[in-house]
Amino acid sequence: MSKYLVTGGAGYVGSVVTAHLLEAGHEVTVLDDLSTGFREAVPDGADFVEGRVQDAARHIGPSYDGVLHFAAFSQVGESVAHPGRYWENNVGGTMALLAAMRSAGVRKLVFSSTAATYGEPASTPITESAPTAPTSPYGASKLAVDHMISGECTAHGLAAASLRYFNVAGAYGDRGERHDPESHLIPLVLQVALGTREAISVFGDDYPTPDGTCVRDYIHVADLAEAHLLAMGAISPGEHLICNLGNGSGFSVREVVETVRKVTGHPVPETAAPRRAGDPAVLVASSATARERLGWTPSRADLAGIVADAWDFARARHAGG
């Protein structure tokens, strides 16, 4: 049994990772300021501390074996409108966390990075060697943290992994997506099925893809959580491991909408909308490095299963008001 600090553990991915750590028999403390997370999402059995990651020095000590870091602002549009918030929180917060870890002698870190570090890729599937050219302050802040972690590994012997996610979806029991505002496709389409949204907007139907709509790589949140536990066991002092995480298959916007119709049994009206600036036609990950270094392969790659889990969570939330 190990003892871990999970920053941002009241959020979507952080809470599911916390649940997996507890199920594996580990001791977990969640640090979250609840600015975007939810206290009730923190699994029973985890200690909870309400606070900012900038104050991690107050809450971490030598008894911890490692940190899993999810505390970040993550809305692309908001980052464009308010870039300073993202530099202060995502970059400044991580800088404070790394200093606190160094002071306490905690030398293992798994960081929640993002495919947004790549920007608009020249080719797919995207590997870790692809050029990094983020198109938003959000992506830039995550890339800056990746660089910061690399420096910490080289200078101070930190053992670290940055896991660059693609489109995380699905739910794990009573933990699922509940962003405000919601910007992810699957929960937005499910809102239409629930009757809380009139229609889903399809932004562009003339892309060079089989049905003309954008293609994205969707990874189940539980598969993602398992990769974090594997990464914690795979990292070595002085090395910064970077892994892309996706299911390796792409699904178009229209495929997602049609899958929601089949899973829910509800009509999902759609409206045509112009392309959004900066939306690449295809974003699909190569997870070869994660397979090789972590021994990880997604076991829940079926789109209908991902949607079904998200639908169960959405209905339960809707029924509960």
Show which residues are catalytic. Answer: 138
Beta carbons within 10 angstroms of residue 87's beta carbon:
15
Q: What is the rounded CA–CA span in Å between residue 116 and residue 87?
A: 15
First-residue to last-residue Cα distance in the chain: 38
> What tokens appear for 117 in the block?
């570090």
**What angle, 0 to 180 degrees and rounded to 10, lies between the N-to-C axes of helices 221-234 and 12-23?**
60
Does residue 2 sit in helix, strand or coil?
A: coil
Q: What is the rounded CA–CA span in Å between residue 314 and residue 108?
A: 35
Burial 28-42 (b: 16+ CB within 10 A, else e): bbbbbbeebbeeebb
- Cα four-point dihedral sign 41, 80, 252, 243: negative
CA 259 to chain centre: 22
DSSP per residue, 157-216: --EEEEEEE-EEE--BTTB----SS---HHHHHHHHHHTSSS-EEEE-S-SSSTTSS-EE
> What tokens appear for 22 in the block?
């507890």
Q: CB neighbours of 84 closer than 8 A, spacing ≥ 6?
A: none
Tell me whether strands 215-220 and 250-252 are parallel, antiparallel or unpaired.
antiparallel
Q: What is the rounded CA–CA span in Å between residue 238 and residue 159?
A: 6
